[in-house]
C-alpha cells in the first residue's frame, strides 16, 4: 500500500530490532490510527522523511498501513481543518 497523506499507519505491537530514535517516536504516535500528514506535522519533519521512516517500520513489521475510512465524508470540515493545520506546521 502506498503511504499517501491520509493513510493511517498503526502500530502492530511488534518490537523492531535496530530502530533509530525517529523510528521509535513515529511508533509512539502510531499507537492509534493517525494520518501520515499528522505524523509529519507532529514530528515537524518533511513528508518525504516521514514516508521513509514509515516504510522502514512497515518493512520490519512494526507498523501496518490502513486505508482511510471510505465512509468518512470527504467534506468533513474538522478533518480538513486538521489536515490544513498539519500541512501548515510542515
Residue-wise pLDDT for 16-66, tens only, equals 677 889 999 999 999 998 999 999 999 999 999 999 999 999 999 999 999
Nearest-angstrom CA–CA distance, 58 and 22:
14
Torsion of CA 47, 23, 30, 83, to 10 degrees: -20
Beta bridge partners of 11: 63
pLDDT at residue 75 tops 70: no
CA 21 to chain centre: 16
Which helix or strand (DSSP H or E) is residue 25 part of?
helix 21-29
Amino acid at each position: 500500500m502506498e503511504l499517501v497523506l491520509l493513510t493511517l499507519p498503526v502500530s502492530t505491537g511488534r518490537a523492531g530490532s535496530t530502530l533509530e530514535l525517529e523510528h521509535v517516536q513515529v511508533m509512539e504516535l502510531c499507537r492509534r490510527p493517525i494520518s501520515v500528514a499528522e505524523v509529519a506535522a507532529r514530528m515537524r519533519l518533511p513528508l518525504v522523511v516521514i514516508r521513509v521512516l514509515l516504510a522502514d517500520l512497515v518493512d520490519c513489521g512494526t507498523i501496518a498501513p490502513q486505508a482511510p475510512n471510505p465512509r468518512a465524508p470527504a467534506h468533513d470540515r474538522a478533518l480538513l481543518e486538521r489536515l490544513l493545520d498539519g500541512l501548515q506546521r510542515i
